[in-house]
A and B are shown apart, each in its own frame.
Chain A
Amino acid sequence: MCPFRAAAVADVLQLAPDVPIRALMTDRSEIFEAAGRRLRAARNYDGGFGPGPAAPSEPEPTALAAIALGDDGARRWLMQRQRDDGSFGIVQGFVRDEGATGLAALAAGPGLTRERALDRLEELEGEPLESSAAVPLDGSIRGWPWVGGTAGWVEPTARSLLALRLFRPGSLRIGEAMAFLRDRRCVGGGWNYGNREVLGEDLPPFAHTTATALVGLHGLDDALEHQGAARLRDLWRRERAGGISVALSLAVFRIRGDRDEASGAADVLADIVAHTDLLGDPVAAAWAAIATGPGVHALEAP
């Protein structure tokens, strides 16, 4: 870790989680430019974006790049890769990834591609589960899976909810998505990646998954959103070493109009983007660019 960053992070880590970070009035446009440069490095000759250095284009980073940068080439790449059933994702033989369809619906813009993606989201559901003493949950709420033929999880459910609340506000499955998020909410608020309890142990919420859930449910349930956002104010400070966690948290604070939290998160994100390589992750760079640029408005109701 470079001396500047070490000092900055150490300074921040000395603060208790409930103490607001001093607003340094970070210029978000600088973060946006820096994150955008990182993201553009993942652009391939075909117009799409890969998941890492020298990796072939894939739907998730391409959809996020289209949202973050308003990149028409990325949008075209996506539209050419929509599957016959309207979904977007990676198919690896037996494994059919469904995780990018919600983001692609946002990225595609108005039109048939988006409508077909939304149709797919309305159709897709996780496999049913049985509640048990080991993993208590309401198994009748299916949610959305990462991979076809498996159970629903918080992140893909939140992504699907985001697309449906923005573009199909009358969808009957919005209620199911909200029920899923209520059922899987951790004790005290926030979200783990899936379950709230395993083998008698309350699972902890994470910044990344909590922020993703809040992006999805924004404006749909004030009490649930308020509780989750309150938990996120603690979580992002605890997890401030992670670029994608801080970026997603910043996006949440911006769409909620929480200027103090947004300012603190922007300071930390600026430090991360300036002094780390985000582990070469274009998805993290894309979320940093979305959180600090005009792309964040794509997460808000039109």
Chain B
Amino acid sequence: MNAPSHHRHGQVPRRGFIKAAGVGIALGAAGAAGLRLGGLGASPRGRWDPAAFPPPTRARVAVLRAEGYERDLETLVFEGLVEIGADVAGARVFLKPNLVEFDPLRPINTDARLVAATAVALRRLGAVQVTVGEAPGHRRDLQYVAEQAGLIDALASIDVPFVDLNTQPVRHVPLRTSYTPLAELWLPSPVVDADIVISMPKMKTHHWAGVTLSMKNCFGVLPGRIYGWPKNVLHWVGIEHSILDIAAAVRPDYAIVDGIVGMEGNGPISGTAVDAGVVVVADDVVAADAVAATVMGVDPASVGYLAEAGRFLGQIDRDLIDARGEDPDRLVRPFASPPVAVA
């Protein structure tokens, strides 16, 4: 089947961009150079290839009230995707939830009911294939986490496949940004081969990155069998640098942020639940994260990687974000900040 042209705002088609490189794994001798970088520090000329990243244009974001997971989430997401003009007809869609760890007392993961509802909504919008996958940052036993989080059963009940991205063949993707010295990434084929990628994070604070939303969620596509459990090499080169390079390489087409119940304080694992009651749907991950941060009471410009991403990857300027649904300023529920280490 020929998938329609799923690219937005006149940008370079993301799938073609990612697929442009070779395949395979190098098994042989190669050295690892020094990996540390300094602070993020804005570079006046930018660290991105302008041919791959034309200046961000207008973004569309739908902010949707959702008091709980028991409501009709399928209709909610469907309407949100329609609001932002999502075009998934005929497309193979890859959904990337945030699946990190399981604790029955803490809302660590994107709720399985929202993921399943999104898959059904995408089918209603004409997606020919929906696949859900994850490669958690430190839990090698994804079967345990996915089972306990309810995702295996939720997806099985609607006949949507779940894949462990740690086990998938990988493809070589040269970076078109240079925030880290990595120069290239190996991404799992279900991500690279999809026509549409949707980042589905949990709305959380993060003790190293400030907030973890659609961009940070892209960490979870990198297989631990290459990058380790945890993916320490990415932290070693700078977490904010890594967020920028990885999000720019994965380049999700849409974002759906699960803020129905979020996490504040010592996130992304050990924080406490917040009934934020919101779902953010966007055609731009930077705009999605900027609006979600606003709902969390966090100034997007104060989040280093988000401010930098607003220069090339997506829209952070509220005047250039077409907001649909609720006014995010009226939904602000300040999230408690992560604890600060005292020397």
Which residues of A approach B to under 8 Å, CB–CB? 1, 50-56, 58-60, 81, 83-85, 90-97, 99, 127, 132-134, 145-151, 153, 155, 193-194, 198-201, 206-208, 239, 241-245, 272, 276, 278-284
Interface digits, B153-186 against A, CB 8 Å rule (1 contact, 0 not)?
A: 1001000001110111110100000000111101
Contact status of A242 and B225, CB under 8 A, knowing A52-B167, A147-B233? no
Which residues of B approach A to under 8 Å, CB–CB? 24-35, 138-148, 152-153, 156, 162-164, 166-170, 172, 181-184, 186, 207, 223, 225-230, 232-233, 236, 266, 270, 338-339, 341-343
Q: Give which listed residue, A54, A56, A133, A153, contacts B232 with CB less than 8 A.
A: A153
Shortest distance in angstroms between B164's beta carbon and chain A's nearest beta carbon? 4
Contact status of A282 and B341, CB under 8 A, knowing A56-B24, A83-B28, A201-B266? no
Beyond A94-B32, A96-B32, A150-B228, 8 additional contacts (C-beta under 8 Å) are A55-B168, A91-B29, A147-B227, A207-B144, A208-B141, A241-B148, A242-B141, A279-B167
Main secondary structure of the interface of B (DSSP, over half): loop
Q: Which residues of B contact A199 (CB under 8 A)?
A: 207, 266, 270, 338-339, 341
A84 touching B26, Cβ below 8 Å? no
Main secondary structure of the interface of A (DSSP, over half): loop
Q: Which residues of B contact A280 (CB under 8 A)?
A: 163-164, 167
A52 touching B168, Cβ below 8 Å? yes
Sampled A-B contacts (25; CB under 8 Å): A54-B169, A56-B169, A83-B28, A91-B27, A92-B26, A93-B182, A94-B181, A97-B228, A149-B34, A149-B35, A149-B233, A149-B236, A150-B232, A193-B138, A193-B139, A199-B270, A241-B147, A242-B145, A279-B142, A279-B163, A279-B167, A280-B163, A281-B164, A281-B167, A283-B167
A145 touching B232, Cβ below 8 Å? yes
Shortest distance in angstroms between B73's beta carbon and chain A's nearest beta carbon? 21
B32 touching A55, Cβ below 8 Å? no
Q: Which residues of B contact A200 (CB under 8 A)?
A: 339
Shortest distance in angstroms between B75's beta carbon and chain A's nearest beta carbon? 27
Shortest distance in angstroms between B213's beta carbon and chain A's nearest beta carbon? 20
CA of A252 to CA of B302 in the docked complex: distance in angstroms?
48
A55 touching B35, Cβ below 8 Å? no
CA of A208 to CA of B166 in the docked complex: distance in angstroms?
16
Shortest distance in angstroms between A206's beta carbon and chain B's nearest beta carbon? 7
